[in-house]
Chains A and B, each alone.
Chain A
Amino acid sequence: MENNEKPRWRLVKTDNPPFWVKPLIPVLALIGTFILTSVLILLADANPFDAYYYFLFAPLENKVSLLEILVKSTPLMITGVAVTYAFATGYYNIGAEGQLYAGAIAATGIGMSMHGVPAIVALPLMIVGGFVAGMAWALIPALLKVKLAVDEVVTTLLMNSVMAYIVSAILNGPWRDPNSGWPQSPDIAPSAVFFKLIPRSRLNFGFILAIVLIIILWIVMTRTSFGLKMRAVGLGKPAAKFAGIKVNRTILTAALISGGIAGIAGVAEVAGIHFHLIGEISPGYGYTGVIIATLGSLNAFGVGLAAMFFGLVDTGAQTLSRALGVPVYLGEVTQATMLLVALGVLLLQRYRIRRM
């Protein structure tokens, strides 16, 4: 035992981070990401500062790519909202990807049979259908969780693979395109297509849907007693139980809402972008939704901003690769690095350095 230990710098946990820490978080995360990814950009024979200009600023400079950012952020906003419901309740739904495809299948099925049905009927039907399908796909892991305490991270994740095979089976079987023979479903009826917000762009009604879902998320979380119950369960299960909140019922409901909204993301992609079902409708929007919900601190507007930012980086990655001849995958690497750095910074905000 040494009583005369020299004072050292230590990390000490603090409950009250000073007020100036919060706005500093995104800045620090960006700087950290920049430093880390610069190495890769240098290896690809490009100037990191140029690269980040193309990443973050060039897409904002013309209307076409500005609209593209909104298009790309649409599915991310929806899956981000979906994941937020679950995560806020302490239910770690990693299955938004599969639930999105469940919604996409339902939307395609309904959309294909809407020939001659007016849009005012077709669109709500598709949205509700996608919601129900996503919910149904989320039901099994949710029941396993509340009835048998089976870890939802594992089950929801595995259900994604199951869904991938189901989609493949449908596309190679009943829905295979009769003309081309490709694993691609026939197109949905014209009346089932989401209308364009701006002519000759890809921006469509799905974007409005995403914004509405974000606003609803905000209202539910901050204004309703169910939102408070979800947050209470997510932040302190024993206390929620003690206060008489039905913990399992709350988790089940949140899990189903989460799955349903992820299903709507599938509807938006089918009806707004592709107009038919293909196996590659989502390049991992469900998984990115997890990142978005986490980066957005499970806050509705945070989710919106994070999704927009990811849309920007996605668009920027393409601009960048065209301008500097670096691989487009740098965009994905940057997003992943961003998440890790941001999580690190979020964790560290609870600590301060002290000499003791």
Chain B
Amino acid sequence: MYIVEMQKVTKIFGELVANDHVDFQLRKGEIHALLGENGAGKTTLMRILYGLYQQTTGDIFIDGEKVTINSPKDAIKKGVGMVTQHFALVPPMTVAENVVLGYTDSFVLDQAAIEKKVGEAANQFSLDINPKSIVRHLSVGQRQRVEILKALYRNAKVLILDEPTAVLVPQEVDSLFETLDRLRKDGLSVIFISHKLDEVTKITDRVTVLRDGKSIGTVDTVNVTQKQLAAMMVGRDTFGVTRQTEINPDNKKILEVEDLCALDDKGLPALKNLKLSIRSGEILGIAGVGGNGQKELAEILSGVKAPISGVIKINDKNLVGKDPSEFSKMGIGRIPEDRHEGVVGDLTVYENLALEHLDEYSKNGFLDKQAIRKNANELIKNFQIKAKPTDRIRTLSGGNMQKVLLARVLSRQPEVVIAPQPTRGLDVGATEYVRQQLLEQRTRGAAVMLISEDLDEILSISDRIAVIYEGEIVGTINAQNATPEKLGLMMSGALREKA
């Protein structure tokens, strides 16, 4: 009998099927990995189990009994605990206070008593943590331990960890794995959400692979290689790769990036000595699982974020330290990763189209409305934007919004095009359109950087593919030599290849 069994669980958000008849079984006392790319439906499935979402159809059994979980409170009552990537701790409070928060039995809080109780619990589960410490003073790894203790203190029999290593430094990862190993021996069942193959093969007993919301299968970890897992995770065989021309190797290197280092929003290293270059008439695909530094790379190359060190050169001119408008003046065409952060939703289409080059569309500080309208009408026609110039941008569909952004950038014939996740969330037609536009830029002689988590996309239009993993380019290969398996291994840190 399984401690948790999910049968044919389906979750639909609007038109998106996040989970499609997923079966999942968890044995008592095992560590079970839920493996898949971003958007494969791992977190959604676990949020259903933890009561954060309700499944559209399907059943959940705990200890063989059919259950309805409407809220995390229900889940906790049934012995399911979850540690998310964003910790739910109150920084100015002590560990003990955080652990008992919302789980106290009496009205009066006896500080000494709860510290003793929490201390005993920490001992029982061999979690090295001082109940009197203030959470604000703890490291990320320690805070995670508090979260685990919080779940165990509430008598969790099943512990869900959502990408627990994403926020940890390597030493903390080792210590987490030791803890998990011990808890497994004590009979705790753990669900380990991850997309890192080395971790999955290191710590888990079984692996269930999700892809596009469907369960691809469950395997015993000892019987499977990282290569096989990568294939299950990425799981595509053939590609319609049609590239008309080879790149002339004599083409000039237009964009060169060297030794680029940057921090993410939390102040952790996001890019480590990153190095790459793109020639004229070339599309460089940047493949990788989300959160490995792609966002920071795109922001830096758009001039929105400053690196801590490194060189960005366009035609041998350094760009580091310049502001976004200078980036675009020097020939970088920037498409934002988040469409909604690239347009001002409450301004009109024509205003958004002019926003990046206002100095050209004004005389003595007054807007040249005629020129702005003319420009807007032309771009709407040339880029097949289905909107009127006076429509507010937020009323446009995602595809048309993206066309507005493409039009604003590409109409200026930039020498370099930075396209991070340009087709994310677009329908088939719009996706095709965007890829076609990028190919046209390549034909025109621009250097195009395509950052994408969609391997199909990378493989179908890139000339070379660089794989980014934990802020580094772990290898660059020609698209002809690339297979999904090889890229999958590189993307999960299992293989490095120097070009």
Contacts and interface: CB of A to CB of B under 8 A. Distances in A.
Interface of A: 1, 3, 15-16, 223-229, 231-232, 235-236, 238-246
Contacts, number: 86
B264 interface: no
Given A16-B395, A239-B342, A240-B344, A225 B356 contact: no
A246 B303 CA distance: 12
Nearest to A220: B365
A241 B356 CA distance: 10
B324 interface: yes
B304 A231 contact: no
B88 interface: no
Contact of B324 (A3, A16, A224, A242): A242
A243 B395 CA distance: 20
Interface string B240-252: 0000000000000
A41 B269 CA distance: 64
Interface stretch (B127-135, B138-146, B345-353, B458-466): B345-353
Contacts of B343: 236, 239
Given A225-B362, A228-B355, A239 B367 contact: no
A235 B70 CA distance: 37
Contacts of B367: 223-225, 227-228
Contact of A239 (B55, B57, B341, B359): B341
8 contacts: A15-B395, A224-B362, A225-B366, A227-B367, A228-B351, A236-B343, A239-B336, A242-B336
B55 A1 contact: yes
A239 B343 CA distance: 5
Contacts of B369: 223
Given A235-B344, A242-B342, 17 more contacts: A1-B68, A15-B394, A223-B367, A224-B366, A225-B362, A225-B365, A228-B351, A235-B345, A236-B344, A239-B340, A239-B341, A242-B334, A243-B325, A244-B323, A244-B327, A244-B328, A245-B355
B14 to A, nearest CB: 13
B344 A224 contact: no
Interface in B328-378: 328, 334, 336, 338, 340-347, 351, 354-356, 358-359, 361-362, 365-367, 369
B189 interface: no
B325 A244 contact: yes
Given A1-B55, A224-B365, A243 B341 contact: no
A229 B394 CA distance: 18
A232 B344 contact: yes
B402 interface: no
Contact of B355 (A1, A15, A243): A243
Contacts of A229: 358
Contacts of B303: 244
Contacts of A238: 338, 341
B441 interface: no
Contact of B54 (A1, A15, A225, A235): A1
A346 to B, nearest CB: 14
A242 B341 contact: yes
Interface of B: 54-57, 68, 70, 302-304, 323-328, 334, 336, 338, 340-347, 351, 354-356, 358-359, 361-362, 365-367, 369, 394-395
Contacts of B324: 241-244
Contacts of A3: 56-57
Given A243-B356, A244-B328, A232 B347 contact: yes
A241 B341 CA distance: 9
Nearest to A1: B54
A240 B365 contact: no
Given A15-B395, A232-B355, A239 B365 contact: no
A231 B56 CA distance: 42
A227 B342 CA distance: 19
B304 A242 contact: yes
B355 A240 contact: yes
Nearest to B56: A3
A244 B358 CA distance: 10
A213 B338 CA distance: 38
A242 B361 contact: no
Contacts of B334: 242
Contacts of A16: 395
B356 A231 contact: no
A241 B365 CA distance: 19
Contacts of A246: 323, 325
A39 B55 CA distance: 49
B341 A225 contact: no
A229 B57 CA distance: 49
Contacts of A223: 366-367, 369
B347 A225 contact: no
What 8 A-B pairs come out closest when comparing CB atoms? Answer: A244-B325, A236-B344, A225-B362, A238-B341, A244-B324, A243-B355, A243-B356, A235-B346
B326 to A, nearest CB: 8
A228 B353 CA distance: 12
Nearest to A239: B344
A15 B395 CA distance: 6
Contacts of B57: 3
Contacts of B325: 243-246
Contacts of A15: 394-395
A242 B335 CA distance: 9
B68 A225 contact: no
Contacts of A240: 344, 355
Given A242-B302, A242-B334, A244-B328, A228 B54 contact: no
B406 to A, nearest CB: 14
Contacts of A235: 344-347
B445 to A, nearest CB: 24
A236 B348 CA distance: 13
Nearest to B394: A15
A26 to B, nearest CB: 21
A86 to B, nearest CB: 17
Contacts of B340: 239
Contact of A241 (B304, B346, B354): B304
